[in-house]
C-alpha cells in the first residue's frame, strides 16, 4: 500500500505576514512541497470569526496567493486554493460538531485569547474555529500537519474527533500527526523582545512585514529595543533585544550567530541596526517584486486558485461522500 504523504496547512488572509511567519511557516512550506502531497489553503472562512472589511478581505486573499507563489510555492507541485471555494469544508464541519463537546471548545487556548481581545464579538464561529480546522485537515485524509511546538492543541483535538468518528462508524479519517517544522530562529517583537513577532500586534513598529519597503524596514530596525551596554553579543537572558537582532541578521545572511557577532565586534548599535535592516530589506525585495508582478496578472492568479479549488474539491468530496454514507445521509 502506498504511503500516505498528504500534508495540510492554512494561513488566514488577515494583515500582512511578518518575517517571523515567513521563516516559521512559508519558507518551510516551500521545502515541504518537494517531499509531501501538500494542500495549502487560504483560510478566509476562519478569518471572518473576527469582523473583516469585505473589500480588504478579497484583496488580502489575492495578495496572499501571490505572496505564496513569490516565496517559491509551486501551484503545479501542490494544491493552492481558497478555503471558501470548497464547500465541503463547511459541510464536514457541521457533522464534526456532533462529535465535539462544548467543554472541549471552551478550554481551547485560542478561544480564551480571542475572547479577551474581541470581548464585543464572542461569536459561535470563534468557539467553533477548531472544529472547522479539524474539517480542513480531515477532508484531505491528511497524514501530516506542520506545526510549531506551541501549536499542537488544534491537531490534538482533530485527532480526538477523528478517532471518535472512526470508533463510531469504522475507519473513515486518517488520524493526522504533527510535523515539527524546522524552528530556525525565534523572531521576537522589535519593541518587546519578550513577545513573538506577530502580524496582529497592536504596535506595527514592532513587526517587520513582508510588504514593508526598504525605508520602512530600516526605520523600524533603527527603533528596535536594545540596552545600555553597547556590546553586541548573543545572550537572550540578559540582552534579549540585541540577541533578537543577531538572530534575524543570522537567518537573513545565512551566517551563524557566532559569525554575526564577529561581524559587529567593536561596532556600535547604530551601525548594527542599520546592517540588520539592510540585510532583511535586500532579501525581501525580490519577493516583493515578484508578488507585484503576479498581482498585475489577476487572470493568472484566478486560474491558479480555480484549478487549486477543483483539485482540492476532488479529494474533499470523496471524503465527504464517504462520511455521508457512514452516518446515513440519503444520497439517492
pLDDT in tens, the chain (332 residues): 568 899 999 999 988 899 998 988 899 999 999 999 999 999 999 999 888 999 999 999 999 999 999 999 999 999 999 999 999 999 999 999 999 988 888 777 766 666 666 667 677 888 898 999 999 999 999 999 998 776 788 899 999 999 999 999 999 999 999 988 765 568 999 999 999 998 888 899 999 999 999 999 999 999 999 999 889 999 999 999 999 999 999 999 999 999 999 999 989 999 999 999 999 999 999 999 999 999 999 999 999 999 999 999 999 999 999 999 999 999 88
β-partners of residue 113 are: none
Cα–Cα distance, 292 to 63 (Å, whole number): 9
C-alpha cell at 52: 473583516
Q: Is 322 a catalytic residue?
A: no
Tell me the CA end-to-end span of the chain in Å, nearest whole number. 32
Of 199, 214, 233, 283, the catalytic one is 199
- Mapped onto helix, strand or coil, the DSSP state of residue 16 is coil
State how far the alpha carbon of 167 is from the alpha carbons of 4, 99, 175, in Å. Answer: 21, 11, 12
C-alpha cell at 179: 510535523
β-partners of residue 196 are: 188
Cα–Cα distance, 286 to 76 (Å, whole number): 21
pLDDT for position 14: 87
Q: Is 199 a catalytic residue?
A: yes
Of 5, 77, 112, 114, the catalytic one is 114
| pTM > 0.75: yes or no | yes
- Mapped onto helix, strand or coil, the DSSP state of residue 27 is helix
C-alpha cell at 167: 470508533
Domain 6-180+297-327 has CATH 3.30.530.20: no
Specify burial of residue 248 (Cβ count, 10 A radius: 0-12, 13-18, 19+).
buried
Of 112, 117, 186, 196, the catalytic one is 196
pLDDT for position 237: 92
Closest CA to 245 of 209, 273, 205: 273
Cα–Cα distance, 14 to 199 (Å, whole number): 8
Which part of the chain is CATH 1.10.240.10?
204-292
CATH number for domain 204-292, candidates 3.30.450.40, 1.10.10.60, 1.10.240.10, 2.30.30.100? 1.10.240.10
Q: Residues 114, 198, 202, CA angle at the centre, nearest 5°?
A: 70
Q: Cell numbers 561581524 correspond to what residue?
A: 263
Which part of the chain is CATH 3.40.50.620?
6-180+297-327
- Helices (H) and strands (E) in the chain — how many of each? 14, 5
Which helix (H) or strand (E) covers residue 164, if one does?
helix 153-169
pLDDT for position 114: 67
For 93, residues 6+ apart whose C-beta sits below 8 A from its C-beta are: 128, 131, 132, 134, 135
Specify whether the CB–CB gap between 128 and 154 falls below 8 A.
no
CA dihedral 141, 147, 151, 153 (to 10 degrees): 30
pLDDT for position 183: 55
State how far the alpha carbon of 289 is from the alpha carbons of 19, 23, 126, 294, 295, in Å. Answer: 16, 19, 36, 9, 10
Amino acid at each position: 500500500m502506498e504511503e500516505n504523504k498528504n500534508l495540510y496547512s492554512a494561513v488566514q488572509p488577515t494583515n500582512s505576514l511578518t518575517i517571523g511567519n515567513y521563516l516559521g511557516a512559508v519558507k518551510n512550506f516551500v521545502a515541504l512541497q518537494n517531499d509531501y502531497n501538500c494542500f495549502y489553503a487560504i483560510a478566509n472562512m476562519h478569518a471572518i470569526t473576527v469582523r473583516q472589511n469585505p473589500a480588504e478581505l478579497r484583496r488580502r486573499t489575492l495578495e496572499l496567493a501571490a505572496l505564496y507563489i513569490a516565496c517559491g510555492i509551486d501551484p503545479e507541485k501542490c494544491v493552492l486554493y481558497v478555503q471558501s471555494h470548497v464547500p465541503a469544508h463547511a459541510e464536514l464541519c457541521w457533522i464534526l460538531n456532533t462529535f465535539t463537546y462544548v467543554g472541549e471548545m471552551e478550554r481551547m487556548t485560542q478561544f480564551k485569547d480571542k475572547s479577551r481581545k474581541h470581548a464585543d464579538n464572542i461569536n459561535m464561529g470563534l468557539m467553533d474555529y477548531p472544529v472547522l480546522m479539524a474539517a480542513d485537515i480531515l477532508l484531505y485524509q491528511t497524514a501530516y500537519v506542520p506545526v510549531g511546538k506551541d501549536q499542537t492543541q488544534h491537531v490534538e483535538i482533530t485527532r480526538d474527533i477523528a478517532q471518535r468518528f472512526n470508533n463510531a462508524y469504522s475507519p473513515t479519517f486518517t488520524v493526522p500527526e504533527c510535523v515539527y517544522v524546522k524552528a530556525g530562529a525565534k523572531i521576537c517583537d522589535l519593541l518587546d523582545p519578550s513577545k513573538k513577532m506577530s502580524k496582529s500586534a497592536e504596535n506595527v513598529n514592532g513587526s517587520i512585514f513582508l510588504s514593508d519597503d526598504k525605508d520602512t524596514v530600516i526605520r523600524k530596525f533603527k527603533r528596535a529595543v536594545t540596552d545600555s551596554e553597547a556590546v553586541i553579543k548573543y545572550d537572550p537572558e540578559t540582552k534579549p533585544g540585541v540577541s533578537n537582532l543577531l538572530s534575524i541578521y543570522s537567518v537573513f545572511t545565512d551566517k551563524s550567530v557566532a559569525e554575526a557577532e564577529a561581524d559587529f565586534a567593536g561596532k556600535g548599535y547604530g551601525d548594527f541596526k542599520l546592517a540588520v535592516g539592510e540585510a532583511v530589506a535586500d532579501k525581501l525585495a525580490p519577493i516583493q517584486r515578484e508578488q507585484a508582478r503576479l498581482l498585475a496578472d489577476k487572470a493568472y492568479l484566478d486560474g491558479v486558485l480555480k484549478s487549486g479549488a477543483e483539485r482540492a474539491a476532488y479529494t474533499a468530496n470523496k471524503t465527504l461522500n464517504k462520511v455521508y454514507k457512514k452516518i446515513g445521509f440519503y444520497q439517492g
